[in-house]
A = this chain, B = another copy of it.
Amino acid sequence: MCQPVRVADDVSAPEVCVLGLGLIGGSLLRAAVEAGRDGWGWNRSAGAVDAARADGFDADTDLVAVLRRAERSGALIVVAVPMPAVDGTLAAIAEHAPGCPITDVVSVKAEVVAAVARHGLQDRFVGGHPMAGTSQSGWDAGDADLFRDAVWVVSADDGVDPQIWSQVARLALDCGSVVVPAESVEHDAAVARISHLPHVLAEALALSGAAGGDLALGLAAGSFRDGTRVAGSAPGLVRAMCEGNRDALLTAVDETLDVLHRARTELAARGTLAELVESGHDARLRYEQRERWTITDIEPGSANWLERMRDAGRRGGVLQP
């Protein structure tokens, strides 16, 4: 008989130490506490810490004190700072909390894994990426329900500790998400396709419309509005996200350039867009009809568990509570 993967029920649920109390970190602290976990947070700026305290949360601006507390209690440390601050944060963890399990919520994974290895923390690290967000930022924008019914990737890289993997997966489940197991490089390739490429194409489409002047913009209707929506996002955020996943995004852009070149050639030579339009329509239907299924019977730490998890993730499988 199939058994749900047991991370949700049996794994130890250590205290949660959240480093960075912006939108994602602040929402995570709220969600973990609401789920009954003990948790506290750190933020560099006092504003977020004051706001968190005013909302009844345990927070501090003293990174060393926070990390020593994590070390004493064996807390799961969540790195929730922006990518440029990850390296310094990992250095502090290596110095002051050398025994704690560590995860992160940064939107690219390979770059974080490389930084983790530079600090010799790879044995205690399991990366994560909750696919949730809003256009807002900061503690005040946080929401305990931000991760509810979201997808949370938990990295299934070679060499990860199965117990820490389960702790990270349990945190994601406690926050209301489903867990997708994926290797870091596969995660980055996937988000390049479905999150970063959409931004690149939206910017290009917006430019084409504006190049048509007020006549073209005045005729624009739903297809242009929806196709350019995310070009309205703050340029700094879009750049950080896309540039942080450069290699995978370049691959996705190059594939798309090939597709567009081929379509252009067919249209010019034979007057047809049949291949592009029919295959693109099939692809959209595949997206609309995708279905999650629940991964069962893969016990973290069992034989070939990482390969089996990754294979299940590739086929649309998720861990559910």
Residues of chain A touching chain B, judged by Cβ–Cβ distance below 8 Å, are: 131, 151, 153, 180, 182, 186-187, 189-191, 193-195, 197-235, 238-239, 242-243, 246, 249-250, 252-257, 259-261, 263-264, 267-268, 271-274, 276-288, 290, 292, 313-316, 318
Contact = CB atoms under 8 A, between A and B. Distances in A.
A257 B91 CA distance: 43
A274 B240 CA distance: 10
Q: How many chain copies does the complex carry?
A: 2
Given A194-B217, A198-B223, A239-B277, A212 B189 contact: yes
B273 A239 contact: yes
Contact of A243 (B221, B222, B273, B316): B273
29 contacts: A180-B215, A187-B219, A190-B215, A193-B209, A194-B216, A194-B217, A194-B223, A200-B273, A200-B276, A201-B227, A203-B263, A203-B277, A206-B281, A209-B283, A210-B287, A214-B314, A222-B230, A223-B229, A226-B226, A228-B284, A231-B280, A232-B284, A239-B272, A239-B273, A239-B274, A243-B272, A249-B267, A256-B260, A257-B264
B283 A210 contact: yes
Nearest to A231: B284
A230 to B, nearest CB: 5
4 tightest A-B CB contacts, nearest first: A203-B280, A214-B316, A210-B283, A231-B284
A153 B217 CA distance: 13
B286 A210 contact: yes
Contacts of A272: 239, 243
Contacts of A204: 201, 256, 259-260, 263, 276, 280
B250 A180 contact: no
Given A208-B256, A232-B288, A257-B260, 15 more contacts: A180-B218, A194-B220, A198-B227, A205-B256, A206-B280, A208-B252, A214-B314, A232-B281, A234-B281, A238-B277, A239-B273, A246-B267, A253-B267, A254-B264, A257-B261
Nearest to A285: B232
A248 to B, nearest CB: 10
Contacts of A232: 281, 284-285, 288
Contacts of A209: 193-194, 283, 287
B200 A287 contact: no
A283 B231 contact: yes
A187 B131 CA distance: 41
B259 A214 contact: no
Contact of A242 (B214, B242, B273): B273
Contacts of A263: 200, 203-204, 253
A231 to B, nearest CB: 4
Contacts of A218: 151, 180, 290, 292, 316, 318
